[in-house]
Chain A
Amino acid sequence: MKTDLINKPTRRHFMQAGVASSAALLSSTALAQETTLIPSRGPGDTIDGSVTYASRSPFVKDGKMRGSANGLSGGGITPLQNSQGMVTPSGLHFEVHHSGVPEIDPSEHKLLIHGLVGDDKIFTMEDLMRFPSVSHFHFLECAGNGMGEWMGPRGQTVQQTHGLTSCSQWTGVSLKVLLNELGVRGDAKWLLAEGDDGARMTRSIPMWKAMDDAYLAYAQNGEFLRPEQGFPLRLIVPGFEGNMNVKWIRRLEVGDKPWWTHHEVTEYADPRPDDKIRAYSFVMEARSVITSPSAGMKLNGPGFYEISGLGWSGAGTVSKVEVSTDGGNTWQNANLQAPVLPKCHTRFTMPWNWDGKETTIMSRTTDDTGYTQPTYDQMYKLQGPIGMMHNNAIQNWHIAQDGEITNVRS
């Protein structure tokens, strides 16, 4: 840290001196010989017309951790430790699949909307893209984000503890526009959304949500969806658990009751400590995590560090993120970087001078509904030992005297 601060001005002084002397002594060859300019690196790579989509610098190795026991159910987690701003690059967006990633030709893809509507209709991608479009920044988070942490701290990095959340700008057509186009019957209360993967992932979506802010996205961050994000069409149900944002969507059935499909009754419902099961826990409640410094990193001695992280809420807009650098004894409001949008990642930062002593740092979000991110102790009263989904508890990072950072519970 220290050496960096000294080096930077020195280099600048050297260059300023160089400019001044060459202007004053333009004709002097003696001085020019004394000053050896950093040699030019010469021409760069030739501009290859066959490369039509840019890739990252070979020096940037940051990647998802991807895997599957059987090759078909599994996915990949986002490297949040290196994230900047609020948008996740499409290629680093987390993914969870239940039957692999299908390859779908958009010219053959169809969406059927039927059931309690005036007219059952099939739409091609071309049809859907003719409707007025909407674009929104929204986060998506898997309900299982942090399930591995439920019984105790396990993840070695923030990628492993929180990497099942990502944020993109999505563009598509509003469900309300489509449903109004067909005419929804008065007794319609629920929608079944079905994907075109092998498993035909299905989830029930409440009609009020569909009519409120849900949409079918064909684009992510300014380009067509990536295959693992549902190309050519996926559902976005802002703020609701990731699994409901059905990928490769092929069918929407309008009905009067929920379907209680396999995924909504087993994996994604929340067993409580009293053996009741909390159904329809769709909203991804307010949560935050410090992405830097975070577990797996090491502070390079006492001095200035910027604490940086992400806050989000599926119920609304982040109204504040508080940070504690003394194990939760005192809290300070962090800066929220613009834009601060509803149901969207919000980047927070806080300047911090580390005194070199052992401590624990953490963050908590409050959203504009007044809800504040809970502690693990509060969560354990709400959900039982197998109720490990929807874990939005406060994350602690322990900083040892040598700067080593680890994932701890308290």
Chain B
Amino acid sequence: MSVHKITLIAALGATLAFGTLYASAQEKYGFGRSVDADEVARYDGDIHTDGTGLPAGSGNVALGAEIFEIQCALCHGENLEGVRAMGAGSMHEGRRDIELLPYATSLFDFIRRAMPLTDPGTLSNDEAYGLVAFLLNETGVVDDANLTLDAASLAAIKMPNRPNFIIDPASRFTAEDLKDN
């Protein structure tokens, strides 16, 4: 009981300090360790659709093509057709068509954290930028064999299929839930 009293006082203090918080009647338990921004940064590698989180560095189509040949083609095929025996589908058509993506940020985020499948998290930022440039050019989303991407230019890409992503009533969500920018 006494522990709860102490945490309750701490909770009052916290509520005063953060006036904008949702009102909550819950008493504070006080478990867990508060962390500073530096420690958060060591965990937080995701990329937001507005480009927040994109790292420094840059890469072009040529760099991407080179890395793709060495590290990716084994599973994804020389022409992005996908090697079924390796469990990878086409990036040109069907569900995994790069052209269907609503944001280029998702592509960067996914490649950098999850690929190559057998060695995730090993690509440099330059390589990840280059691979996105290569894939966008190869699939015709951005028709530019000299495309070079960095944080600003990648965040600025408008994917042509974005307007086709909709909330329909069958989703049981409203357009308000979808608002993303």
**Chain A residues within CB distance 8 Å of chain B:** 68-70, 72-74, 98-99, 112, 114, 118-123, 127-128, 130-131, 177, 180-181, 183-186, 188, 192, 194, 198-200, 202, 206, 250-251, 253, 255, 257-262, 265-267, 269, 271-272, 275-283, 315, 382, 386, 388
A118-B21, A186-B21, A194-B46 given; A262·B109 CB < 8 A: yes
Partner pick for B117 among A72, A202, A258, A271, CB 8 A cutoff:
A72
Q: Which residues of B have CB within 8 Å of A261?
A: 46, 106, 109-110
Pairs A–B under 8 Å by Cβ, sample size 12 = A70-B118, A183-B14, A184-B22, A185-B22, A186-B21, A202-B46, A265-B106, A276-B166, A276-B168, A277-B166, A281-B171, A282-B171
Residues of A within 8 A of B24 (CB): 180, 183
Chain B interface bracket (under 10, 10 to 19, 20 to 34, 35 or more): 35 or more
Residues of A within 8 A of B36 (CB): 120
Contact A279 B178 (CB under 8 A): yes
Q: Which residues of chain B are within 8 angstroms of A258 by Cβ–Cβ distance?
A: 178, 180
Determine the chain A residues whose CB is within 8 A of the CB of B120 once the complex forms.
99, 198-200
Q: Which residue from A73, A121, A202, A266 sits with its C-beta under 8 Å from B100?
A: A266
- Supply 7 further A-B pairs (C-beta < 8 A) apart from A69-B84, A277-B100: A69-B85, A70-B88, A72-B118, A192-B46, A206-B177, A258-B178, A260-B180
B interface residues, Cβ below 8 angstroms from A: 14-15, 17-18, 20-22, 24, 26, 28-29, 31-37, 39-40, 43-49, 75, 84-88, 94-96, 100-103, 105-107, 109-110, 113-114, 117-118, 120-121, 161, 164-168, 170-173, 177-181
Does A74 contact B44, Cβ atoms closer than 8 Å? no
Contact A68 B87 (CB under 8 A): yes
Whether the Cβ atoms of B87 and A74 lie closer than 8 Å is yes
Task: State the CA gap A346–B75 with chains docked (Å).
Answer: 41
| A73-B43 Cα distance, complex, nearest whole Å | 24
- Establish whether residues A112 and B178, one from each chain, have CB atoms under 8 Å apart when the complex forms: no
B157 vs chain A, min Cβ distance (A): 13
Other-chain contact of B171, A68, A69, A279 (Cβ < 8 Å): A279
Least CB distance, B117 to chain A, in whole angstroms? 6
Closest to A263 in B: B110
Contacts of A281 in B (CB 8 A): 170-171
Verify B29–A266 contact, CB threshold 8 A. no
Docked pose: A259 CA to B102 CA in angstroms = 11
Q: Are B103 and A260 in contact (CB under 8 A)?
A: yes
- Per the bound structure, the CA–CA distance linking A198 and B110 in Å amounts to 12
Min CB–CB distance A287 → chain B (angstroms): 14
Does the CB pair B46–A114 fall under 8 Å? no
| Also in contact, A198 and B177, with CB within 8 A (given A121-B34, A257-B49, A261-B106) | no
| Distance between A45 CB and nearest chain B CB, rounded to angstroms | 42
Chain B residue contacts of A272, Cβ below 8 A: 168
Residues from chain A with Cβ under 8 Å of B43 in the complex: 112, 114, 250-251
Contact present for B45 and A382 (CB under 8 Å): no
Q: Bound state CA distance, A134 and B68, in angstroms?
A: 47
Given A262-B110, A265-B103, also A280-B164 (CB < 8 A): no
Query: Is there contact, CB below 8 Å, between A99 and B49?
Result: no
Query: A98's closest neighbor in chain B, by CB?
Result: B114
Asked whether A259 and B48 contact (CB < 8 A) given A99-B114, A265-B103, the answer is yes
**Is A122 a contact of B181 with CB atoms below 8 Å?**
no
Given contacts A121-B33, A255-B48, A281-B171, contact A183 B22 (CB under 8 A): yes
Contact of A260 among B34, B35, B37, B49 (CB under 8 A): B49
**CB <8 Å contact, B117 and A99:** yes
Contact (Cβ within 8 A) A278 B168: yes
Minimum CB distance partner of A258 in chain B? B180
B106 near A262 with CB under 8 A, answer: yes
Q: Are A127 and B117 in contact (CB under 8 A)?
A: no
Q: Is the CB of B14 within 8 A of A130?
A: no
Bound together, the chains give a CA A280 to CA B172 distance in angstroms of 9
Q: Which chain A positions have C-beta within 8 A of B165?
A: 265, 269, 276-277, 279
Residues of A within 8 A of B17 (CB): 118
Q: Do B14 and A267 touch (CB < 8 A)?
A: no
Cα A112 to Cα B40 in complex, Å, equals: 8
- Point out which of B15, B49, B84 has the most chain A C-beta atoms below 10 A from its C-beta: B49
Which of B21, B44, B161 contacts A251, CB < 8 Å? B44
Distance of A188 Cα from B20 Cα, bound (Å): 11
**In the complex the two chains form, what is the Cα distance from A188 to B21 in whole Å?**
10
In the complex the two chains form, is A120's CB within 8 Å of B40's CB? yes
Contact B114 A262, beta carbon cutoff 8 Å? yes
Contact present for B22 and A69 (CB under 8 Å): no
Report the bound CA distance from A186 to B117 in whole Å.
38
Known: A69-B87, A119-B34, A183-B22. A200 touches B45 (CB 8 A): yes
